[in-house]
Structure 1
Amino acid sequence: MSAEPQVIVIGAGPVGQSAALLLARWGVQVLVLDQRPGRGSGGSKSICQQRDVLDIWAAAGAGQVAEEGLAWTTARTYYRDRELLSWTFEREGPLPPCVNISQTRTEQILDAAIAAQPLVEVRWEHEVTDLTQDDSGVTVHCGQRRLRAPYVLVCAGARAQAIRAALGVTFTGETYDDQFLICDIKADLPGWENERRFYFDPVWNPGRQVLIHPCPGGTYRIDWQIAPDFIPSDADIARKIRQVIGDRPYELLWHSTYRFHARLASRMRVGRVLLAGDCAHLVAPFGARGLNSGVPDAENAAWKLAFVLNGWAGAGLLESYHVERHAAAVENLEVTGATMRFLVPRTVEERMRRRAVLEGGRVDEVDSGRFAEPFWYVGSPLTTPEPSRPFAGRPPKGAVCPPSPGVILPDLAVPGGRLRDITRDGFLVLLGDMCDSSLFVQVLGKVITAPLAVRGLAEIDGTGSLAERLGAGPDEAWLIRPDSHIAAILPHAGPESVAAAVGRALGGFPDI
């Protein structure tokens, strides 16, 4: 690395890799530290990657994840041998709603993108033992070695106890007693190639659950809930696989056991240090809300750190990282907590309710995991509310949330690519037909130093249909953040109201 790092990222897993690439995209010099001797291999680990995370990786130069992943379409849920319900994702734009791909392969793709990025250096065998900070930066202690940068982003995973302790951050929560056995197998399973299957109380795992996910290359992930004290032998594993797939040839690629955790850091920002991913929050994996929340952490942190480092916003913008992403983690814990109470009931009342729901076929109450969604910054201090555009609340499972302030911009196809392709280089103002683009450019250019573009909606697609698809009025201005979230929708908009909304979205609001 020819220059001193502006940000040190601790942890070279997918969240740390994503953060490094996104920071470099803003021209920030990044040093990534990891305590391991090098990149490990083996095991699919986190496999379900949601559409909006694929979008972030595409912006970071890792669009190959979406290209290689298996885009499953249907989720089926069974009770014993009876199908209770199925649902499909709502298709929003060019990217698939989600893909399955092993975390090992995702890390390889991100590593290749990092290798092509001169602003990022990765150093292995650097275990961080302490952090100290002052008014000008952070000193990272790696044994006897000392490294320094203006800011640090910690993506060191769940076992980052020493770092959290150094920052005075608690990590309270609980660990579930039941174990889960996961296996990666390669097999020919006709009809299962594009479906996620969830079984409550099947005859081959009575009283517990089994989850089956298709993956690329004819591979499958099978996940069994097992007893807390059960230690599966090779013969146990073979028997369990046979019970699921029958008398078919298969190859066992990897297996492991684990327990679920539900924990949340007390703070995700401490001075010049930000926490992201599993070191800040742990949730049960049903609904794939782990990595799919860690990567948005990385994106949120990256653009805010870059704006502060480049002098486009004050340091107060960094506190909004904690406000927004801590709220996202709280929601994920609430959603996954409800799922776990249904999957692993702990009280007589919870067990009776689950049995009544399953045996009565009350499909609206069956909870096998609400799939990951982007968090909507409706209550964020960066968002300008608009009474005529209220947040519609959580949409039906698999559906897309209608646009409103705080919600992520729909990823629609437009000539030459996707709508979000033009949102990643700064703030974007989208204007209806009745708005004078040249006037907005003239006024905003005098008061905003941060990167900002002004585009007419009709100009983008040349037909006027984009405004209709978004539901945008002819006199409205939509302000889009660098992470594609809608910061404001302003009816009867003028340049002054847009400038005020940009100022708010840059952290220019009181009491933060």
Structure 2
Amino acid sequence: MDPVIVVGAGPVGLTLALALARQDVPSVVLDEGPGGDAARAARTVVLREDTAALMERLSGAPLGESGLHWVGWRSVRRKQTMREVLFGDTEPAPLHIAQHVLTGALRAAVAAEPLVELAVDSRLDTIEQESSGITAHTRGPKSTWWRGSYLVGCDGPRSTVRKLQDIRFPGRTAVERHAVAALRTELPWAGQALLHRTPPWRTSGPSAGEVTARPLPDGVWRLDWLLPPGKDLVTPELLITRIRETLTGWTGESTPSYELLDTGVHTVHHRLARRWRVGRVFLAGDAAHLLGTLGTQGLDEGLRDADNLAWKLALAWHHGPRGTLLDSYQSERRAVVAARLRAADQALPLVRAGGSLRSYVPGSARGQDALLADGHLGRGTLGAPGTYAGSPLTPAPSDSEARVGTEPGAAVADVRVTAEDGSSVRLRDRLGRGSLLVVLVAPGTGVWERKHWVSAGIMPRLAAAVTALPHPAELLVAESYPGAAAHTVLLVRPDGHLVTALSGVRPADLYRAAEATLGGPAKEQAAVNAG
């Protein structure tokens, strides 16, 4: 069968290609440039803990050594600390990393992956689609035609794929602008990110509002100043003035020492493609959506696009297309991104104008600073990763369902589990292999060797039920899971989202849930595809 064609060799495209390769699906990545990513210290990304773990699994690189997991977060208004968060085992830290470093790690993994072909200097200009596959043409030094099974546009905001498919990309331009500087200096909050609103050294005008400092390794910081509305140029003189007055205000030194490494202007756009799938053509990342207000990173959502799509394409590549399964990519991911854009569009005018947020944030104790901090940290109304509760892959309600600490459709907790070979691993380590995961919560098994309990109690019946599922599945055992009673059985998708939790071993209900996760019964899917 023909490979999947991935258009765009940024982090999202490379992630998708590697995720497909882990599930034995070949791909061709079309890179319109000569390869590589320009080193820009001021172009950085913040990844939630689970997305950072995904990047480490696929790249095989310890990104925590080339990026920085923050020690904590501090929110300050004028001279008063409003909120301080310290990260640790119960409060996972985001990862802040330069984008070119992340891209370099992914490119190195692609270079070592025989199932991925990277075609540089290959600019897409034609897509021809038929029922059996895709034909794409690229121009450049090696102008050629490519044959593929599916094509995914990961080619950024000006996506050629999106334009060739005539997909509208409505939204708002320049929602916010930030002046950005990357510099090496010493600040009083080593390893802590900082949001400073209404700093006392700027006392009037919209430009007084906000500055954010995010630490990177080797004493480097990325500073972002919220700019007033308009299109005024950010001159070098203006930026130097901002740097000096900010560092002076924070350190108390009249001539603070710093090394300026890079500068830029970050403009936030809010856009959402009308469609994310046209037959065998898909959109992902910035080609499908633009968002990034309040510290939330569009790249983090783009990587989730790739993770969501990879296992569905892999299943279709190996076993034939399932219309409901492939359609669910748009249903799930577009709904999540649309909800985040709506939340930002509703809250931003009130936050920036200083208005009341009680209608958006429950409880009188929370206010603007808490809302902004949560947005920056990937939590709350503005930042929390979405769930797929309304997915077309959701199984029908069952009397055997059990409540656990994770809602169906949400990402599962990363608990320690015992694998079928007897090894003890994190649940997250078993994701992305194309298999469903069945997790039995069995307190006490951790103190016994696997050989003593694998054939005892309910294990043989559960193992037989797992073997009979309509798709390969791996049986895992956990000592505990948040909110779960003993003998609860969890069904988990290959991308780590909970399908359902069942009270005990219910083979028929487990089978029906797995079948729904794959898009429905195979016979129904065959009829849909034929129609």
Picking from 126, 129, 134, the partner of 1:133 is 129
Residue 380 (structure 1) aligns with: 391
Q: Please tell me whether the aligned partners of residues 278 and 294 of structure 1 are also in contact (alpha carbons under 8 angstroms).
A: yes
Residue 222 (structure 2) aligns with: 221
User: Displacement, 1:424?
Assistant: 3.4
SS of residue matched to 2:218: helix
CA distance in 2, matches of 1:339, 1:72: 26
Could you give the per-residue CA deviations for residues 129-152 of structure 1, whole angstroms, max 9, x where no partner exists? 232211011122224632120101
Q: Does 1:147 align with 2:146?
A: yes
User: Displacement, 1:316?
Assistant: 2.9
Residue 441 (structure 1) aligns with: 463
Q: Tell me whether 497-506 or 310-319 shows the greater mean CA deviation.
A: 310-319
Residue 410 (structure 2) aligns with: 407
Q: Please tell me whether the aligned partners of residues 437 and 454 of structure 1 are also in contact (alpha carbons under 8 angstroms).
A: no
User: Displacement, 1:15?
Assistant: 0.7
Amino acid at match of 1:275: L
SS of residue matched to 2:47: strand
CA distance in 1, matches of 2:320, 2:469: 11
CA distance in 2, matches of 1:390, 1:497: 15
- 1:233/1:365 CA distance change after superposition, 3 Å: closer
Q: Please tell me whether the aligned partners of residues 8 and 154 of structure 2 are also in contact (alpha carbons under 8 angstroms).
A: yes
CA distance in 2, matches of 1:492, 1:65: 39
Amino acid at match of 1:202: P
Q: Please tell me whether the aligned partners of residues 382 and 506 of structure 1 are also in contact (alpha carbons under 8 angstroms).
A: yes
Q: Please tell me whether the aligned partners of residues 22 and 432 of structure 2 are also in contact (alpha carbons under 8 angstroms).
A: no
Q: Does 1:473 align with 2:485?
A: yes
User: Displacement, 1:119?
Assistant: 0.9
Q: Does 1:106 align with 2:128?
A: no
SS of residue matched to 2:389: coil
Gaps in structure 2 of 5+ consecutive residues:
249-254, 379-383, 418-422, 443-455
Q: Please tell me whether the aligned partners of residues 31 and 120 of structure 2 are also in contact (alpha carbons under 8 angstroms).
A: yes
Q: Does 1:428 align with 2:437?
A: yes
The aligned length equals 476
CA distance in 2, matches of 1:342, 1:85: 20
Could you give the per-residue CA deviations for residues 423-480 of structure 1, whole angstroms, max 9, x where no partner exists? 43310111244962322333443452x32112333xxxxxxxx32x433223422101
Q: How does 1:110-509 map to 2 (within 5 A)?
A: 110-143=106-139, 145-160=144-159, 162-176=160-174, 178-189=176-187, 191-205=188-202, 206=204, 207=206, 208-227=209-228, 228-246=230-248, 247-311=255-319, 314-345=322-353, 351-353=354-356, 363-366=366-369, 367-368=371-372, 370=375, 371-372=377-378, 373-384=384-395, 402-413=405-416, 416-425=424-433, 426-433=435-442, 436-448=458-470, 450-457=471-478, 466-467=479-480, 469-508=481-520
CA distance in 1, matches of 2:414, 2:441: 18
User: Displacement, 1:500?
Assistant: 0.7
Amino acid at match of 2:261: L
User: Displacement, 1:317?
Assistant: 1.1
User: Displacement, 1:307?
Assistant: 0.8
CA distance in 2, matches of 1:22, 1:269: 19
User: Displacement, 1:286?
Assistant: 1.8
Q: Please tell me whether the aligned partners of residues 437 and 456 of structure 1 are also in contact (alpha carbons under 8 angstroms).
A: no
- Report the TM-score, using the length of structure 2 for normalisation: 0.83
SS of residue matched to 2:34: coil
Could you give the per-residue CA deviations for residues 207-253 of structure 1, whole angstroms, max 9, x where no partner exists? 32111111111100000112323323222222111111122221111
Amino acid at match of 2:513: A
- 1:229/1:257 CA distance change after superposition, 3 Å: same
CA distance in 2, matches of 1:305, 1:331: 25
Picking from 56, 68, 71, the partner of 1:70 is 68
Could you give the per-residue CA deviations for residues 371-428 of structure 1, whole angstroms, max 9, x where no partner exists? 333321122122335686569xxxxxxxxxx313212111134574422212433101
Amino acid at match of 2:467: G
SS of residue matched to 1:239: helix
- 1:178/1:18 CA distance change after superposition, 3 Å: closer
CA distance in 1, matches of 2:113, 2:55: 14
- Report the TM-score, using the length of structure 1 for normalisation: 0.86
Q: Please tell me whether the aligned partners of residues 274 and 301 of structure 1 are also in contact (alpha carbons under 8 angstroms).
A: no
Could you give the per-residue CA deviations for residues 337-361 of structure 1, whole angstroms, max 9, x where no partner exists? 345324444xxxxx5548xx9xxx9
User: Displacement, 1:493?
Assistant: 3.3
CA distance in 2, matches of 1:24, 1:98: 27
Residue 462 (structure 1) aligns with: none
Q: Please tell me whether the aligned partners of residues 402 and 502 of structure 2 are also in contact (alpha carbons under 8 angstroms).
A: no
CA distance in 2, matches of 1:236, 1:70: 29
CA distance in 2, matches of 1:352, 1:310: 54
SS of residue matched to 1:216: coil
SS of residue matched to 1:470: coil
Q: Please tell me whether the aligned partners of residues 34 and 123 of structure 1 are also in contact (alpha carbons under 8 angstroms).
A: yes
Q: Please tell me whether the aligned partners of residues 137 and 151 of structure 1 are also in contact (alpha carbons under 8 angstroms).
A: yes
CA distance in 2, matches of 1:87, 1:386: 40
Picking from 31, 34, 43, the partner of 1:34 is 31
Q: Please tell me whether the aligned partners of residues 389 and 405 of structure 1 are also in contact (alpha carbons under 8 angstroms).
A: no
User: Displacement, 1:98?
Assistant: 1.2
Q: Compute the RMSD of aligned alpha carbons.
A: 2.7
CA distance in 2, matches of 1:478, 1:177: 42
SS of residue matched to 2:372: coil
Picking from 7, 16, 25, the partner of 2:22 is 25
- 1:54/1:212 CA distance change after superposition, 3 Å: same
CA distance in 2, matches of 1:445, 1:427: 11
Q: Please tell me whether the aligned partners of residues 5 and 148 of structure 2 are also in contact (alpha carbons under 8 angstroms).
A: yes
- 1:478/1:49 CA distance change after superposition, 3 Å: same
